[in-house]
Chain A
Amino acid sequence: MRSSRAYLGVALLLLGAFVVFACGGDFDPASKVDSVRLFAVKADKPYARPGESVTLEALFTDARKDKPRAAKLYWIPVLCLNPKDDLYYLCFAPPGDGGRQAGNTRLVPVGPLADAGAAAEAGAGAPGGDAGAFGGSNPFANIPTGVDLAPFLPQGPTFTFRIPDDAVKEREGSEPYGLAIVFNILCAGRVEFASRDLSGGAQQVPVLCTDENGVKLSPSDYVIGISRVYAYATRVNTNPVIEALTFEGKDVLPAQGITVEHCTEAKQRDCKENKIGARISDSSWEPNPSEVTRDGDLREQIWIDWYSDIGKLDSDSRLLFDTREGRVPESDVKYFAPKDPTDGTLWGVVHDNRGGAAWIFIPLHVR
Chain B
Amino acid sequence: MPALVSALLACTITAWPTVSDAQPGGSIAKPAEEPPAPPAPPPPTITLPIVKKDEGAAYPTQAIGDKVRDPVTVDLVLELDATGAVTKVSVDKFAGHGFDEAAIEAAKKLEYEPARRNGQPIAAKIRHKYLFNPPASRVVGRVATDRGDKDAPLEGATVTITGEGGATFRTIAAADGAFRVDDLPAGRYRITVASGGYVEQSYEESLDPGQEAKVEVRLVHEVAVLPPPKKGEEVDEVQIRGTRPPREVTKRTLEQRELARIPGTNGDALRAIQNLPGVARPPAIAGLLIVRGASPNETNIYVDGTLVPIVYHFGGLSSVIPTEMLEKIDFYPGNFSTYYGRVTGAIVDVGVRDPKKDKKLHGLAQADLIDARVLAEGPLFDTGWNFAVAGRRSYVDLWLKPVLEKAGTGVTTAPVYYDYQAILQKDFDKKNSLRLFFFGSDDRLSLLTKTVNGSNPGFGGNVSIGTAFYRFQVRYLGKFSEDTELRLTAAVGKDALDFSIGDNFFVLSTYPINPRAEISQKLAAGVRNNFGLDLLYTPYTVDVRLPAPPRPGQPPPGPFGSQPPLVVNDSDAIYRPAMYDELELTPWAGTRIVPGVRLDYAKDTRAWDVQPRVTVRQDLHRTFPRTTLKGGIGRFAQPPQPQETNRVFGVSGLVSNVANHYGGGVEQELSRQVEVSLEGFFRQYDRRVVQKLGNVGEGRAFGLEMLLRYKPDDRFFGFLAYTLSRSVRKDGPDEPERLFNFDQTHILTTVGSYRLGNGWEIGGRFRYVSGSLNTPNGYGFYDATVGAYIPLADYPPNAHRNPAFHQLDVRVDKTWQLSGGVKLSAYLDILNIYNSANVEGVSYNYNYTLSTNATGLPFLPSLGIRGEL
Contacts and interface: CB of A to CB of B under 8 A. Distances in A.
B784 A294 contact: no
A219 B648 contact: no
21 contacts: A4-B497, A7-B506, A9-B288, A19-B285, A88-B790, A172-B648, A200-B795, A203-B795, A224-B780, A225-B781, A228-B562, A292-B543, A292-B545, A292-B567, A292-B568, A294-B507, A301-B461, A317-B453, A317-B457, A318-B451, A353-B457
B452 A2 contact: no
Given A1-B538, A355-B785, A6 B461 contact: no
Interface in B766-814: 779-787, 790, 792-793, 795-796
B454 interface: yes
B680 interface: no
Contact of B782 (A14, A201, A224): A224
B476 interface: no
Contact of B787 (A1, A5, A40, A300): A40
Contacts of B450: 318-319, 328, 330-331
B467 A174 contact: no
A11 B462 contact: no
A86 interface: yes
B449 interface: yes
Nearest to B779: A219
A79 B851 CA distance: 34
A13 B567 contact: no
A123 B164 CA distance: 82
B121 to A, nearest CB: 87
A7 B502 CA distance: 16
A294 B509 CA distance: 14
Given A6-B297, A173-B649, A226 B785 contact: yes
Contacts of B507: 294
A13 B283 contact: yes
B141 interface: no
Interface string A212-230: 0000000100011111101
Nearest to A304: B452
A58 B784 CA distance: 8
Interface string A2-44: 1111111111111111111101110111100000001111000
Contacts of B457: 303, 305, 317, 351, 353
Please give me the 6 A-B residue pairs with the lowest Cβ-Cβ distance, nearest first: A24-B843, A201-B795, A173-B648, A25-B852, A203-B555, A30-B846
A288 B504 CA distance: 11
Given A30-B454, A319-B461, A173 B568 contact: yes
B793 to A, nearest CB: 6
A8 B462 CA distance: 17
B498 to A, nearest CB: 9
Contacts of B642: 1-3
Interface string B130-154: 0000000000000000000000000
Contacts of A290: 503, 545, 565, 567
Range class of the A interface residue count: 35 or more
Contact of B465 (A15, A202, A328): A15
B566 A172 contact: yes
Contacts of A89: 555
B448 interface: yes
B566 A219 contact: no
B16 interface: no
B460 A303 contact: yes
Interface of B: 283-288, 296-297, 309-310, 314-315, 408, 448-454, 457-463, 465, 467, 495, 497, 499-500, 502-503, 505-508, 510, 512, 538, 540, 542-545, 548-549, 555-558, 561-569, 574, 641-643, 647-649, 692, 734, 779-787, 790, 792-793, 795-796, 840-841, 843-847, 849-852, 854-856
A228 B568 contact: no
B850 A225 contact: no
Contacts of B467: 4, 8
Interface in A172-217: 172-174, 177, 184, 199-205
Nearest to B447: A15
Nearest to A203: B555
Contacts of A305: 452, 457, 787
A298 interface: yes
A125 B614 CA distance: 53
A3 B546 CA distance: 14
A12 B451 contact: no
Given A291-B567, A294-B543, A324-B462, A20 B841 contact: yes
A273 interface: no
Contacts of A202: 555
B790 A323 contact: no
Given A15-B465, A331-B450, A172 B647 contact: yes
Contacts of B296: 5, 9
B459 A12 contact: no
B460 A17 contact: no
A310 interface: no
Nearest to B693: A98
B106 to A, nearest CB: 64
Contacts of A19: 285
Contacts of A171: 566
B787 A323 contact: no
Contacts of B558: 88, 226
A316 interface: yes
A325 interface: yes
Contacts of B310: 5, 8
A330 B542 CA distance: 35
A57 to B, nearest CB: 10
A136 to B, nearest CB: 21
Contacts of A15: 285, 463, 465
A225 B783 CA distance: 6
Contact of B841 (A21, A227, A317): A21
Contacts of B849: 219
B781 A27 contact: no
Contacts of A29: 846
A317 B510 CA distance: 38
Contacts of A174: 564-567
A322 B566 contact: no
A85 interface: yes
B443 to A, nearest CB: 9
Given A3-B508, A316-B451, A328-B448, 16 more contacts: A1-B642, A14-B459, A20-B856, A25-B845, A30-B847, A86-B557, A174-B567, A205-B781, A226-B558, A226-B782, A227-B784, A298-B503, A303-B460, A315-B408, A353-B458, A357-B787
Interface string A222-253: 01111110100000000000000000000000
A23 B734 CA distance: 39
B563 A86 contact: yes
A229 to B, nearest CB: 8
A25 B851 contact: yes
A40 B784 CA distance: 5
A262 B438 CA distance: 66
Nearest to B316: A12
A292 B268 CA distance: 40
Contact of A25 (B567, B782, B795, B850): B850
B552 to A, nearest CB: 12
Max count, chain A CB within 10 A of own CB: residue among B458, B505, B540, B692: B505
A301 B784 contact: no
A168 interface: no
A175 to B, nearest CB: 8
Given A225-B784, A328-B450, A291 B569 contact: yes
Contacts of A20: 284-285, 840-841, 854, 856
A159 to B, nearest CB: 11
A147 interface: no
A160 B563 CA distance: 22
A316 B459 CA distance: 15
Contact of A230 (B497, B564, B780): B564
Contacts of B284: 16, 20
Contact of A317 (B448, B454, B562, B854): B454
